[in-house]
């Protein structure tokens, strides 16, 4: 394979040089952070009063963690480190887990962020010949404007279609010859199902690639989208606290997401002990942003669960790769005392050919016990009035989920296209249990 680099010097930089660059940039970021009263106090307590107190990358561990709660407590301007007049943009996290948090950018911050996203896009083999349809929410959410700017930087024709409007999405693809899209994986599956329903042939669109992110999805879901649409799907990871998209992205080897270590420092910790996780083991990802002056954030506890690959990537990039994010520490459901991650259920349902493109997890109280119901759409080859294959499929899903998570779920089969679809991040879990028990 012919791998293409947006900036070969930075992307293939030998580790010692990369780490020297990280150290310089960490000192710079600590300097930015020390302009806020929050970090002056936090870092001061840790004996860090100036960037020169950071002498090696090992000193990173002297910096206390920053949490989502810290950011909320600092709302709205507590983490702003430059005069308000120098800020050119703000974004906010989608607030899926509560009150949103705000991130500010100056002109240089936007340039660096745009360069990060361009690097990701270009690394998947895109160029100015591509037509890029950005099927994601434009607004406070970073995925819209972030990918838009990155796409333009690469020189692609960018169609700011935004999320939703499913029928209009594939009409735009047909009219303008879209070759690349960006969307949540759940929306991609929804678009594909709708195309089939409306009889839109694959030949009438020129799609080659998709960037899918903003929510967790399994390897089987990726393969399913790739097979249904005959495209390559690249995993895109980011979070607004670290600018948004462009934090970590798959290259053409599609085996792990390169974390751009010239712009971020990544650590994996044990979320209970807060100590570094053993090499290669799964834990909570902690990120330090080296590329945003207006809102510096150091050692941010993302709550996202991942681990680093240990080997080198065939693409030649030296930046370490993260494994697909399987979920968040706060995603975990406790069902009758058993810990369950929604991703474990997704892995089962999306691996079955007979299953359609959508599913939903519902947890309720039934007497004193918790009851797990998995609602699954069936694929187009299964007829809802033919009970025998339906019963067989229901049994197969039930027993495979039970084998994976030890809990025996109730499985409901639904017609394709009948379960709710969200325009933003998919809402996969409905927990109806009373909160006070």
- 223's CB contacts (< 8 A; 6+ apart) are none
- According to CB under 6 A, which residues from 306 to 325 bind ligand AMP? 325
* Continuous segment of H or E residues that includes residue 195: helix 185-197
Choosing from 162, 216, 256, 342, the residue that interacts with ligand AMP (CB under 6 A) is: 216
237 binds ligand AMP (CB under 6 A): yes
Task: Kindly determine how many residues on this chain lie close enough to bind ligand AMP according to the rule CB under 6 A.
Answer: 18
Select 158 or 248, whichever has its Cβ closest to Zn ion: 248
Give the Cα separation of 214 and 236 in Å (integer): 7
The C-alpha R_g of the chain, in whole angstroms, comes to 22
Q: Pick from 68, 258, 320, 328: which binds ligand AMP (CB under 6 A)?
A: 328
Residues 6 or more apart in contact with residue 384 via CB below 8 angstroms: 378, 390, 413, 415
Q: Choose the stretch contacting Zn ion; rule: CB under 5 A; options: 136-144, 315-323, 407-415, 424-432.
A: 315-323
Compute CA 123 distance to the chain's CA centroid, rounded to the nearest angstrom.
Answer: 17
C-alpha dihedral (214, 217, 223, 225), degrees to nearest 10: -50
* Pick 292 or 328: Cβ nearer ligand AMP: 328
CB contact at 8 A, 417 and 194: yes
Interacting partner of 253 out of Zn ion, ligand AMP, none (Cβ under 5 to 8 A depending on kind): Zn ion
| CB atoms closer than 10 angstroms to residue 14 | 9
SS3 286: strand
Among 236, 243, 307, 357, binds ligand AMP (CB under 6 A): 236
Q: How far apart are CA 176 and CA 186, in angstroms?
A: 23
- Contact between 94 and ligand AMP (CB under 6 A)? yes
Piece of 209-217, 271-279, 347-355, 367-375 that binds ligand AMP (CB under 6 A): 209-217
Q: Is 322 in the site for Zn ion (CB under 5 A)?
A: no
Would you count residue 288 as binding ligand AMP (CB under 6 A)?
Answer: no
Q: List the interface residues with ligand AMP, window 129-148 (CB under 6 A).
A: 142
What is the rounded distance in angstroms from the CA atom of residue 28 to the CA atom of residue 145?
26
Find the shortest distance in angstroms from Cβ 244 to Zn ion: 21
Element at 289 (helix H, strand E)? strand 283-289
Which residues, including other chains, have CB under 8 Å from residue 102's CB and lie 6 or more apart? 75, 76, 90, 91, 92, 295
Q: Which of the ranges 43-51, 76-84, 230-238, 275-283 carries the binding residues for ligand AMP, by CB under 6 A?
A: 230-238
Q: 410-414 and 429-431 as β-strands: parallel, antiparallel, unpaired? A: unpaired
Ranges of beta strands (E only) in 330-407 are 333-335, 338-340, 355-366, 369-378
Which residue from 21, 157, 228, 253 is in contact with Zn ion, where contact means CB under 5 A?
253
Pick one of Zn ion, ligand AMP, none as the site partner of residue 240 (Cβ within 5 to 8 A by kind): ligand AMP
Place of tokens 């990280």: 22
Does 232 bind ligand AMP (CB under 6 A)? Our answer is no
Q: Least distance (Å) from ligand AMP to the CB of residue 240? A: 4
- The entry of ligand AMP, Zn ion, none near residue 313 (CB within 5 to 8 angstroms by kind) is Zn ion
Complex with Zn ion: residue 124 or 133, whichever CB lies closer: 124
Contact assessment for residue 78 and residue 69, using Cβ atoms and an 8 Å cutoff: no
Identify which of residues 222 and 317 has a Cβ nearer to Zn ion in the complex: 317
Report the residue number, 148 or 317, with the smaller CB distance to Zn ion: 317
Residues in contact with Zn ion by CB under 5 A are 251, 253, 313, 315, 317
Residues in contact with ligand AMP by CB under 6 A are 93-94, 142, 213-216, 235-240, 244, 302, 304, 325, 328
């Amino acid at each position: 394979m012919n791998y293409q680099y947006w900036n070969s010097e930075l992307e293939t930089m030998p580790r010692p040089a990369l780490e020297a660059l990280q150290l310089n940039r960490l000192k710079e970021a600590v300097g930015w952070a020390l302009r806020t009263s929050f970090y002056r106090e936090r870092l001061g307590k840790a004996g860090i009063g100036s960037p020169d107190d950071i002498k090696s990358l090992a000193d990173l561990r002297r910096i206390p963690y920053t949490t989502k709660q810290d950011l909320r407590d600092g709302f709205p301007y507590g983490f702003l480190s430059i005069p308000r007049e120098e800020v050119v943009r703000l974004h906010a996290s989608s607030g899926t887990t509560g009150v949103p948090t705000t991130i500010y950018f100056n002109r240089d911050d936007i340039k660096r962020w745009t360069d990060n996203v361009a690097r990701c896009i270009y690394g998947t083999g895109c160029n100015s010949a591509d037509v890029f349809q950005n099927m994601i929410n434009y607004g406070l959410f970073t995925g819209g404007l972030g990918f838009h700017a990155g796409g333009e930087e690469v020189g692609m024709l960018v169609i700011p279609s935004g999320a939703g409007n499913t029928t209009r999405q594939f009409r735009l693809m047909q009219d303008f010859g879209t070759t690349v899209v960006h969307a949540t994986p759940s929306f991609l599956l929804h678009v594909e199902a709708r195309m089939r329903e409306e009889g839109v042939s694959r030949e009438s669109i020129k799609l080659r690639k998709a960037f899918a992110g903003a929510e967790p999805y399994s390897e089987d879901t990726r393969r399913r989208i790739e097979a249904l649409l005959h495209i390559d799907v690249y995993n895109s990871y980011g979070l607004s606290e670290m600018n948004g998209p462009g934090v970590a992205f798959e290259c053409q080897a599609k085996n792990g997401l390169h974390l751009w270590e010239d712009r971020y420092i990544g650590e994996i910790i044990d979320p209970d002990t807060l100590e570094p996780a053993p090499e290669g083991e799964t834990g909570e990802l902690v990120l330090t942003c080296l590329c945003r002056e207006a809102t510096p954030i150091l050692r941010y506890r993302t709550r996202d669960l991942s681990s680093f690959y240990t080997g080198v990537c065939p693409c030649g990039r030296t930046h370490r790769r993260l494994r697909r994010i399987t979920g968040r520490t706060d995603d975990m459901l406790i069902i009758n005392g058993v810990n369950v991650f929604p991703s474990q259920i997704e892995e089962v349902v999306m691996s079955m050919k007979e299953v359609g493109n959508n599913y939903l997890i519902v947890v309720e109280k039934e007497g004193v016990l918790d009851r797990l119901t998995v609602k699954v759409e069936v694929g187009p080859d299964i007829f809802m009035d033919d009970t025998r294959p339906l019963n067989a499929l229901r049994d197969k899903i039930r027993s495979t989920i039970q084998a994976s998570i030890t809990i025996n779920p109730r499985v409901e089969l639904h017609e394709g296209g009948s379960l709710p679809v969200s325009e933003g991040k998919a809402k996969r879990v409905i927990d109806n249990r009373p909160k006070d028990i």
